[in-house]
Structure 1
Amino acid sequence: MQADNISSHIQTSLRVIPRDQHNVSRKDISPNALRVLYRLRDSGFGAYLVGGAVRDILVGGHPKDFDVATDATPEQVKGLFRNCRLIGRRFRLAHVVYGREIIEVATFRANIDDGSGDRETDDGGRLLRDNVYGSIEDDAVRRDFTANALYYAVEDFSVRDYVGGFEDVQNRLMRLIGDPETRYREDPVRMLRAVRLAAKLGFEIERDTAAPIPKLAPLLAEAAPARLFEECLKLFLSGHAVESFLGLERYGLLPALLPESAAALKSNRSGALRRMVLEGLKGTDARVAADEPVSPAFLFALLLWPAYCRDLMGLQAQGVHTAEAQRRAADRVTLHQLATIALPRRFSLPMQEIWLLQSRFQQRQRKRVFRLLSHPRFRAAFDFLSLRTAASDEHSADVEFWREAQQHPNESLAQHEAQHERAGEDGGDEEGGDGQAPRKRRRRRRGAPVGGAAE
């Protein structure tokens, strides 16, 4: 099915910002991106640095990715660069490869399909394929946010603005180009992009751009789960996880992205689970800022922990044996979340291990302590246990014991056994085969999961 682009009525007005009125400099641009720009220009084509790189430099950032827009077709670009490959069906693009760096080159796209191009939408207005080429003005209108529709020209070092993006960047506003509801229906993931970019840049989402989001949030169910997984990584592993999470809450997107966790957080009246999630995301941001790795398995263990706690409590209330309830809750939460986000098994399995190891931190028997210390997922599980103290100080003693046990296991065990002897306990292996804590422990309220899972 072919259709005219609904944004074709948008008026453009070129504003050229000369070099002395902006801070975009060639020293901030990848040398490989400059090579692409100059070769296209020298071959008679128009070529501009466009999008996030221009936007980020304007606000004092240091972009890692550099995209080029041109009037050359993908085939013409390929003809100029031996190190070029063409990709994509929905959007035909040229990738010019320099070692590990890829410069993405896109041909200007048009607003209206006159039948000569290749555009397809579904009945809801969502774009399935868009390869109709046009002018730079057409291309500017086709972009999502005004801040992403700025073009840097190497011939005179100016920034060219067709839709008011330069002023919006100065005012730190995320504004959609065209009618917001229509643009979200074209691509529902734009709602997540609005939140993510606002969090990253410290921008506000412009009022009309923000207004339809809560109503249209359910449209995310139409997005491919694999695409939502990638978008989640961008939301939470780019150094702005806390602000991204708050944005998802603010605009009603959290229930669409993480439905069971959102429901669990809403029902957790103490707010303990939310405190834990925010503390974990704060730690994630700190690791990213320090250029330290963050595992998606740990991230999703954190984001889905409220759902796991809620499911575990429900199963225990039904009388399901604790160890079985833990396994079933982990499987249920993972399976249900897969309907929205395609979480690969290489992340979902260690995520579940992190959850299931939590109850084993209550153990103090010598063999089991050493067995847990040697578990390949121990460190991640211990870090998760430490994080749980943000929700409840119930786990402080466990954290202290296991922190010491990592450095001096024999001394920690000897001290623990001596304390038990002084208390008149024999310190023997009183645990059951399900790996739960010794019988002599503080009484829990009926139905509460072992290990304080539902703080």
Structure 2
Amino acid sequence: MLKKLFKSLNTPARHPQHRRTTPEVLNAGQHSLQRSQFSRHAVGIVERLQTAGYQAYLVGGCVRDLMLGIVPKDFDVATSATPEQVRAEFRNARVIGRRFKLVHIHFGREIIEVATFRANHPEEDDEQDVHRSSSSESGRILRDNVYGTLEDDAQRRDLTINALYYDPVSERILDYANGVHDVRNRLIRLIGDPTQRYQEDPVRMLRAVRFAAKLDFGIEKHTAAPIRELAPMLREIPSARLFEEVLKLFLSGHAADTFEMLVDLHLFDSLFPATTQALEDTPTYTHTLISEALRNTDLRIKQGKPVTPAFLFAALLWPALPARVLRLQSRGMPPIPAMQEAAHELIAEQCQRVAIPKRFTIPIREIWDMQERLPRRSGKRADLLLDNPRFRAGYDFLLLREKAGEETDGLGEWWTDYQDCNDSERREMIADLGGKDESGAPRKRRRTGAKRSKRGEADE
């Protein structure tokens, strides 16, 4: 993946700020798209809006994905009609949003999103999910979005491959930014001057990485060049917005490649500073554990299995935790309280950068807490742990730690066997533990069967 991170065109380079005011028009014979590939509901919306006298096109990701042979997740429409005008045409339409209104048109479970052509204020922002006001001295765009022309709409978009408009009536593609060329050359390129566009909205750096990983594209060299220097600008982005962006980065099915690119471009540091320090302190272990967790995440998504962000964040942050636990233990704090205090401290720091909601921070801490409890198996503790609702996540996390090279004295294998045993075999496994108790002191020899007293059980 990283070998093709910076990729140049074979054609002569264009000035990075070049913006086309008239589109290149590709007729039906010049591209592979057919109207039958698109949602019939989305096509119907375009036809109806055009019949009513408005401009309307299928736009963005659905056009790009079908050119690549990918089945689109959704189909979006861009139009000259205002939200109120769209709603007047469709009884099943609902206007959403405040500062920038969109229309959702419902067809059973399918929802087609219809957006009015948008324009930037002078040097304005183009992100769909950025709705802010005023401006900043750093050059970031903070005003609300306004309506505009088709040409305005094309130029305010961030990536060339997302600025493609398909007319299912004439079966033509309108291309304002050489996006067809970049799709065919598997290239991520920003529209306009990259430095200026990143300064307007630093999240565009994350979007460039996300689309490169998702589509297996290279990042055009001028688009990639400013990222390392500008990466610290992500610290200015609200932590709640970065949480949503991190989910997009790591739950797209290409998390492992995304991680490598984020680290290489110095973006990971602005998202996970404590883990970045762990990558320096324990590089092999940290990299292996995170990469293994992300590969497992990608596989589960590919298989259609559920993925919990809590487990993902637990893995991303875990390498930064042990050193903090040891520091607290060195001050005389017992292992479990040390784990709990270190976890609280680490998560609080992380939430300053990426605002992880409480519904995820609680299970993160429970998964980590399990790592301290799983070695404590004597007496009835093993069965109590097995009944714990977080046992499975804690057990999976233990196996992840072992895969990363952490020595656990066969703890993962023990728990694997314990789950497969019957009650009698489990009692035998507990009796055979021997060795030392949880405090590290030599443990008295166990008495089993009828000879074991109730007091002995209670002491365990």
Question: Normalised by the size of structure 2, how large is the TM-score?
Answer: 0.86
CA contact (8 A) 2:213 2:254 kept: yes
Q: 1:396 Cα shift?
A: 6.3
Classify 1:91/1:122 alpha carbon distance in 2 versus 1 (closer, same or farther; 3 Å).
farther
Q: Residue in 2 aligned with 1:444? A: none
1:431 partnered with 2:454? no
Report the AA paired with residue 185 of structure 1.
Answer: Q
| Cα distance in 2 between the residues matched to 1:438 and 1:287 | 42
User: What amino acid is the match of 1:350?
Assistant: P
Q: Is the 8 A contact 1:57 1:63 kept in 2?
A: yes
1:332 to 328, 345, 350: 345
Post-superposition CA distance 1:384-404 (Å, at most 9, x none): 111111222523611111112
Query: Cα distance, 1:237 vs. partner?
Result: 1.0
Contact 2:378–2:430 (CA under 8 A) maintained in structure 1? no
Select 2:90's aligned residue among 75, 81, 85. 81
Deviations 1:211-255 (A, max 9, x none): 111111111122222211111111111100001101101111001
Matched, 1:202 2:243: no
Q: Does 1:300 align with 2:313?
A: yes
Cα distance, 1:104–1:326 mapped onto 2, change above 3 Å: same
Give structure 2 stretches of 5+ with no counterpart.
1-15, 124-131, 444-460
**Post-superposition offset of 1:153:** 0.6
SS at match of 1:431: coil
Q: 1:245 to 1:410 in 2, by over 3 A?
A: same
Superposition deviation, residue 112 in structure 1: 5.3
The one-letter code of the counterpart of 1:338 is C
Query: Do the aligned residues in 1 keep the contact of 2:379 with 2:430 (CA within 8 Å)?
Result: no
**Contact 1:119–1:132 (CA<8 Å) still a contact in 2?**
no
CA distance 1:265–1:388, shift in 2 (3 Å): same
Aligned partners of 1:396 and 1:12: how far apart in 2?
A: 66
- Residues 7-37 of structure 1: per-residue CA shift (max 9 Å, x gap): 9973334211222332323333223222322
Structure 1 runs of 4+ with >6 Å offset:
none
Q: How many Å apart are 1:107 and its aligned residue?
A: 1.3
Structure 1 residues 74 and 276: alpha-carbon distance in aligned structure 2, compared to 1, 3 A threshold:
same
CA 416–162 in structure 1, closer or farther in 2 if over 3 Å, else same = same
- Selected match of 1:233 from 219, 225, 247: 247
Change (3 A) 1:111 1:358: closer
CA contact (8 A) 2:336 2:372 kept: no
Q: How does 1:12-411 map to 2 (within 5 A)?
A: 12-111=21-120, 120-269=134-283, 271-392=284-405, 394-395=407-408, 397-411=410-424
CA distance in 1, matches of 2:153, 2:191: 11
Q: Is the 8 A contact 1:8 1:112 kept in 2?
A: no
Query: Partners of 1:119 and 1:41 in 2: how far apart?
Result: 33
Deviations 1:294-339 (A, max 9, x none): 0011111011111222322332344433222101111011111111
Give, as a single letter, the amino acid of the residue that structure 1 aligns with 2:163: A
The answer to whether the 8 Å contact 1:184/1:191 transfers is yes
Identity %: 49
Residues 1:186 and 1:409: Cα distance change in structure 2 (over 3 Å)? farther
Number of equivalent positions: 420
Residues 348 and 219 of structure 1: CA distance in aligned 2, closer, same or farther (over 3 Å): same
Residue 418 of structure 1 and its aligned partner are, at CA, apart by: 5.5
Hey, what's the Cα distance between the residues in 1 that align with 2:329 and 2:379?
Answer: 29
RMSD (CA atoms):
2.3
The alpha-carbon distance between structure 1 residues 265 and 157, as it changes in their structure 2 partners (threshold 3 A), is same
CA distance in 1, matches of 2:119, 2:406: 59
Q: Secondary structure at the match of 2:158?
A: coil
Give 2:151's aligned amino acid.
Answer: E
TM-score normalised by structure 1 residue count: 0.87
1:67, CA displacement in angstroms?
1.3
CA shift, 1:190, in A, is 0.8
Structure 2 counterpart of 1:4: none
Inter-CA distance 258–144: structure 2 relative to 1 (3 Å threshold) = same
CA deviations on 1:355-408 (whole Å, 9 max, x unpaired) are 011122212313000000000011111111111112225236111111122221
Query: How many angstroms apart in 1 are the aligned matches of 2:388 and 2:266?
Result: 39
**Range with bigger deviation, 258-267 or 411-420:** 411-420
Q: Which amino acid aligns with 1:197?
A: F
Moved more, 11-20 or 188-197: 11-20
